[in-house]
Structure 1
Amino acid sequence: MKRLFVLPLLALAAAAHAGPGAHGPNGEHLDAAPAAASADVLARLPDGSVVLPMPAQRRLQIRTQLGELSDAAASVELPARVVMDPNSSGRVQTATGGTVHPGPRGLPVPGQRVRKGEVLARVVFQPSPLERANQRAQLAEVRAELQLARQQAQRLQSLEGTVARREIEAAQAAVQSLAGRERALAGSVGAAEALLAPVDGVIARADVVAGQVVEPRDLLFEVVDPGRLLIEATTSDPAIAAGIVGAALLGHPGVELKLLGAARSLRDGAMPVSFRASGRGALPLALALGQPVQVVARLAGSLKGVVLPADAVVRNAANEPVVWLKTSAERFVPQPVRAQPLDATRVVVQGVEPGVRVVVQGANLIAQIR
């Protein structure tokens, strides 16, 4: 009687531990997925597939969709960075150099909004002791000449009628000339250069503190309009730059790009392509100057593939792009694919048969199951 129960128990044990494609003693097909699922255990099988019971799928919020083959615009991913718009941004530099003094509202800080023409700071010119002494000596000499010229003009004015009119006018002209020289020299002693905001915008960069000594042409402030920025992408293929018909910013669905044009000369072995960035609707631009980004440029051609959300494509242990296919109610299989960005949130994958169910939400969680 014991022998009658041994075979069924052995068969059940073999079925519980058999891998995919295994067969029982009578030729029946054994699958490990139902056994694992019945235990409500998340497990990765030897063939790389994952068993995910239905309660776990609900907890992880796994979502799938049927893959449909369609024509999609050909695209290419280009490295890019955020740059300032020269028509709505500006840099503030000093032409003379000297000591920095705060403006009427103090020194601006990054993120502070300023108006065009506003005094951001003042730079007081600091000459050497010898230059300062020469300036003062010239000023004293001009003031002495001015005093003598005024006295001479007054004497000639008192003798009007006996002195020629042209002599009186010449003396008055000499007084005016010396007065102008005196004002110019007096203004040069301790002169200050006002640093003005070139445009309306926000301080993007401020590299000064009160009392700092700066040199001529030092960059002190950068003012940008946060709503008007440019994206500068680069490509080494001039044919790609000439074939771009549209673009999107990868990972930034709230940003719209408008193609401005491509340069006609290489810079560091690459051709710059400029795009104007703007917020979609009323959304502000969440970008910063110098930020590295990726531009998905749409080309004139098209290709066939399955359009999926970008989150559906993950990396396996070999760093290959894969998608997860749902082959049964509780079993998921990784499928290597060729993925190409379509826009900021979607990709076109090749290597997936139409009609299969593809995981579009939670694929990264399935890939972490070991």
Structure 2
Amino acid sequence: GSLFVPKATQHLLSVRTVMTAESRAPRTVQLVGTLIADPNSFGRVQTGHAGRVEAPERGLAFVGKRVEKDDVLAFLEHHIEAYNKGNLQGEIAELEARIALQEAKLAHYLKAPLAVPPIKIDEAKGEIHALRQKRKELLPTLVEREEIRAPIGGVVSVSNVVAGQVVDAREVLFEIVDPARYWVEAIAHDAGVVTNLSAAFAVTNSGDTLPLEFAGLGLSLKQQAAPLTFRVAQTSSNLSIGKPVTVILQSSVELSGIVLPAASVVRAPSGLAMVWVKTEPERFEPHTVRYEALDGQRVVVTAGLKIDVRVVTDGATLLNQIR
């Protein structure tokens, strides 16, 4: 039924209305999405060897700390048994001797290049390069303390270490995110939704609207649906990885309807979408409508509402509570 609201109460509830008019609006599709890190601005710090974590002079990196690329996040002290250490030292010494021998042989070849086939010179150079590469791989294993450095600049989002902790090889110690660069991944059961894509938006649970730029369509299905990726064009300070969002895709195909602020649409006790129409200065009537989200801030009503009527835009939720 209708609702009687005196003028004084309307002012108290800050009720505002707008006159409806028919207009053209893009057809939209809503998808479920999640905020993810930009793959080019996300860093995961893992260990190459087992060891014990030690804090640097400025302390261990913590969640929320801003770091620059190559900043020392922690130290990792390697534990090498005396027997293994001796074997490594012996192997490195043998490699250095072989490198010296090959370098001397190459120098001898280069003194008389016309008397030596070019293939022998190339073989000597290749052997020296291979031996040096192997020595380069073995040398870090003798270092008793390794600096754990930030691979990128950003904010530490994950920290899994404390001083004195013993970690295994490949264990994740830190994750770093650039808070100015986020992506959104959405799931579409119909990959054709991007065929006529003209604009895209992500709406958070708090009502923030983020403009998106389409990045790509995945060819491998996830949960029997195609993954879509978007770049967040304008970020806000309250975003975090893993946050659920509603992705709104606008098509270049238009439809006729009445464009209203999203706050105009409320839920009836039956669960159906409805708007409040001001029929008299102090009387309001509910109208069940069918609508599509437009961009997170506006909706387009496609059925259930006439033109040239006053629809409540501000205070619709409070009117619903009075009812």
Tell me if TM exceeds 0.5: yes
1:255 maps to what in 2? 210
2:226 maps to what in 1? 271
* Structure 1 residue runs without a partner (length 5+): 1-47, 150-183
Q: Deviations over 1:258-288 (max 9, x none)?
A: 1112222312211111111132xxx744311
CA-CA distance at 1:210 after TM superposition: 1.2
1:239 maps to what in 2? 192
* 1:363 maps to amino acid: A
Alignment map for 1:103-142 (pairs within 5 Å): 103-127=56-80, 132-135=81-84, 138=87
Give yes or no for the alignment of 1:348 onto 2:300. Answer: yes
2:182 maps to what in 1? 229
Give me the TM-score of the superposition, normalised by structure 2.
0.79
2:287 maps to what in 1? 335
Give me the TM-score of the superposition, normalised by structure 1.
0.70
Change in Cα spacing, 1:207 to 1:108, as seen in structure 2 (3 Å) is same
What is the Cα-based RMSD across aligned positions, in Å?
Answer: 2.8
1:54 maps to what in 2? 7
CA-CA distance at 1:201 after TM superposition: 0.9
Change in Cα spacing, 1:254 to 1:76, as seen in structure 2 (3 Å) is closer
Q: Secondary structure at the match of 2:233?
A: strand
CA-CA distance at 1:255 after TM superposition: 2.8
Change in Cα spacing, 1:139 to 1:255, as seen in structure 2 (3 Å) is closer
Q: Secondary structure at the match of 1:77?
A: strand
| 1:104–1:119 Cα contact (<8 Å) kept | no
Q: Secondary structure at the match of 2:152?
A: coil
* Structure 2 residue runs without a partner (length 5+): 98-136
Give yes or no for the alignment of 1:211 onto 2:164. Answer: yes
2:125 maps to what in 1? none
Q: Distance in 2 between matches of 1:337 and 1:76?
A: 18
| 2:155–2:179 Cα contact (<8 Å) kept | yes
| 1:126–1:190 Cα contact (<8 Å) kept | no
| 2:209–2:297 Cα contact (<8 Å) kept | no
Q: Secondary structure at the match of 1:209?
A: coil
Give yes or no for the alignment of 1:194 onto 2:143. Answer: no
Question: Which protein is bigger by CA-based radius of gyration?
Answer: 1
Q: Secondary structure at the match of 1:250?
A: strand
* 1:85 maps to amino acid: D
Q: Secondary structure at the match of 1:368?
A: helix
Q: Distance in 2 between matches of 1:187 and 1:275?
A: 40
Q: Distance in 1 between matches of 2:202 and 2:139?
A: 56
Q: Deviations over 1:211-234 (max 9, x none)?
A: 122222222211111111111111
CA-CA distance at 1:344 after TM superposition: 2.1
2:36 maps to what in 1? 83
CA-CA distance at 1:189 after TM superposition: 5.6
